[in-house]
């Protein structure tokens, strides 16, 4: 990608709309990112938010969605004005992405029927198991179709009024354009996609309708689901109402084209140039997941592996772990409090940096310490709920370095278990990229992830900010295709126009770290019995 910085004619670039705006609604932050049409980052703005646990359901309110969207955009507009001396009134294209999966169900008047059920909820076990058997295709607990069918099984009153389902990205896109569509990558976490047609799998749609015919006569699932689009297609234009929602000051003008709304997994693939077969990426934030683009379908069905797609519709194996860096953040906050009590004030990045660098001095196996980052349930290891745990034996070596290494290893533990299932399928992988906040401290999480995967791991300059930048690049790609309908496919576009001069750093696995993580993972697997006991007792 092009070096970050201000172009000499930035004011002209902004006023002419030779830009692309990307907005991503992540688990803890809503970020807006403005790029040039070549992918060069120009400005950004963000809004901090957090999910709520209401009546045992992880959720965000739609008011929080709208407020956060406006705040992130306003901060971006402020940043543009500081850099270019003018506030934006138009863009070449806009893209929206958000955390995937979950359940947003609306009635015929577009009113939300029940609070948004996010990907973090794990109450759909019976539905997911039955659908997986019916389809012969793994349906994870967090997928939208699992939430819908669980609501049907539970005879929830709202089901009779469901007129449409969508994801968080799809909802925001509909607010901006009036169109109910999804990018194929996001849609693949709603209902299985047929790689041959690029749309929802017809056989499975018909099987679902037959399954619910007695409970819900006349149900036609396809009518409830958003239209599926692929990267490069126009997905609507910004309406006057959408412009007012995004920018209540009235400066932003309607009529701007939008690319298909995507999930954070898809934007992660774009942000790491991992959309071609035999490439993969790891995204580490509130959740952590690996995406590996397949050359062929898997031979067997595994509950640890989702089958989703790239934004262009190519088949991807996904190892999704519900729990990522949140527990690390909690420990970092506590250590920051200690520093403050001792008179040492430090910002979050300084605290994280010091703690992460300490981990490199730890024993290769974490000194016999063991950490579970399970704030929520973890389907890969069969847990419906989570209890964060730190456990050690009397003969373990408790030091700050070992503690931090164990915590970072713990963040990668469930991911490593899932990746070993993928290895057993004989999936070939030439390159693994990583991005997300966990990799902002150079060389630490990257090195330990290489040990966990026993494979080289590459990190680029946008490692900490990939998602919003990724959807901005997808918006720029849609703009390029609108100017030249016969332009290159997404993979070629990324390789030749965005990542041609990319600054990348690759770390090969260290043999001692690999052996140490292997020993840690053995303890981690055995200790899952302790985690299960904690969820039962506490």
Q: If you count DSSP H runs as helices and E runs as strands, how many of each does the chain have, helices first? A: 17, 20
Structural domain total, the chain? 1
Whether 107 is covered by a domain: the verdict is: yes
pLDDT at 115 over 80: yes
Report the share of the chain in percent with pLDDT over 70: 98
Q: Which of 316, 330, 356, 371 is nearest to 447 (CA)?
A: 356
pLDDT at 85 over 80: yes
Whether 171 is covered by a domain: the verdict is: no
pLDDT at 47 over 90: yes
pLDDT in tens, 10-19: 999 999 999 9
Q: Report the 3 state secondary structure along 352-375.
A: HHHHHHHHCCCCCCHHHEEEECCC
Q: Which residues pair with 369 in a beta bridge?
A: 392
Rg (CA), the chain: 23
Average pLDDT over residues 266-283: 91
What pLDDT does residue 3 have?
A: 42
Whether 313 is covered by a domain: the verdict is: no
Domain CATH number, residue 111: 3.30.420.40
Whether 264 is covered by a domain: the verdict is: no
What pLDDT does residue 465 have?
A: 53
pLDDT at 240 over 90: yes
pLDDT in tens, 201-220: 999 999 999 999 999 998 99
373, 391 Cβ separation under 8 angstroms = no
Whether 206 is covered by a domain: the verdict is: yes
Whether 247 is covered by a domain: the verdict is: no
Whether 299 is covered by a domain: the verdict is: no
- Domain of 157 in residue numbering reads as 101-166+191-224
- Work out the mean pLDDT of the chain and round it to a whole number: 93
Average pLDDT over residues 430-454: 90
Whether 159 is covered by a domain: the verdict is: yes
pLDDT at 96 over 70: yes
pLDDT in tens, 330-365: 999 999 999 999 999 899 889 999 999 999 999 999
Q: Decide which of 461 and 318 is more confident.
A: 318
Instruction: Give the Cα separation of 144 and 131 in Å (integer).
Output: 12
Average pLDDT over residues 147-161: 97
Q: CB-based contacts of 148: which residues, under 8 Å, 6+ apart?
A: 103, 105, 159, 162, 165, 224
């Amino acid at each position: 990608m092009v070096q970050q910085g201000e172009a000499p004619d930035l004011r002209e670039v902004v006023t002419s709309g030779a830009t692309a705006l990307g907005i991503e609604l992540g688990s803890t932050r809503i970020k807006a990112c403005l790029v040039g049409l070549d992918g060069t980052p120009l400005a950004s703005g963000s809004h901090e938010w957090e999910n709520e646990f209401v009546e045992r359901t992880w959720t965000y309110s739609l008011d929080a969605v709208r407020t956060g969207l406006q705040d992130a955009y306003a901060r971006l507009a402020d940043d543009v004005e500081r850099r270019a001396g003018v506030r934006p009134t138009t863009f070449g294209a806009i893209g929206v992405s958000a955390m995937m999966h979950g359940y947003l169900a609306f009635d015929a008047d577009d009113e939300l029927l029940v609070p948004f059920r996010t990907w973090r909820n794990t109450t759909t076990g019976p539905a997911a198991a039955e659908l997986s058997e019916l389809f012969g295709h793994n349906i994870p607990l967090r997928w939208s179709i699992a939430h819908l069918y669980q609501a049907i099984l539970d005879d929830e009153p709202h089901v009779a009024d469901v007129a449409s389902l969508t994801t968080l990205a799809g909802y925001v896109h509909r607010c901006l354009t009036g169109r109910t569509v999804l990018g194929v990558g996001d849609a693949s976490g709603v209902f299985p996609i047929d790689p041959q047609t690029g749309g929802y799998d017809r056989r499975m749609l018909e099987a679902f309708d037959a399954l619910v015919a007695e409970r819900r006569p006349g149900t036609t699932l396809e009518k409830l689901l958003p239209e599926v689009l692929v990267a490069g297609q126009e997905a609507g234009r910004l309406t006057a109402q959408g412009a007012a929602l995004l920018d209540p000051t009235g400066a932003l003008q309607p009529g701007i084209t939008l690319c298909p709304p995507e999930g954070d997994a898809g934007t992660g693939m774009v942000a790491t140039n991992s959309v071609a077969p035999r490439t993969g990426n790891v995204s580490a934030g509130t959740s952590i997941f690996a995406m590996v683009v397949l050359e062929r379908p898997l031979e067997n069905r595994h509950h640890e592996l989702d089958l989703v797609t790239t934004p262009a519709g190519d088949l991807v194996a996904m190892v999704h772990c519900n729990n990522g860096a949140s527990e690390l953040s909690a420990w970092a906050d506590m250590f920051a409090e200690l520093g403050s009590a001792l008179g040492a004030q430090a910002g979050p990045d300084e605290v994280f940096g010091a703690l992460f660098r300490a981990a490199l001095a730890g024993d290769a196996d974490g000194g016999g310490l063991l950490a579970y980052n399970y704030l929520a349930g973890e389907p890969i290891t069969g847990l419906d709920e989570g209890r964060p745990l730190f456990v050690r034996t009397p003969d373990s070596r408790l030091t700050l370095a070992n503690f931090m290494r164990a915590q970072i290893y713990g963040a990668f533990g469930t991911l490593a278990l899932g990746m070993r299932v993928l290895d057993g399928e004989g999936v070939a992988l030439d390159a693994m990229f990583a991005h997300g906040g966990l990799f902002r401290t150079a060389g630490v999480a990257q090195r330990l992830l290489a040990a966990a995967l026993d494979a080289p791991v590459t990190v680029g300059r946008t490692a900490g900010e990939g998602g919003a930048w990724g959807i901005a690049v997808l918006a720029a790609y849609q703009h390029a295709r609108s100017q030249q309908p016969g332009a290159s496919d997404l993979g070629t576009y990324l390789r030749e126009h965005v990542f041609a001069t990319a600054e990348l750093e690759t770390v090969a696995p260290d043999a001692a770290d690999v052996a140490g993580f292997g020993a840690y993972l053995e303890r981690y697997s055995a200790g899952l019995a302790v985690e299960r006991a904690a969820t039962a007792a506490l």
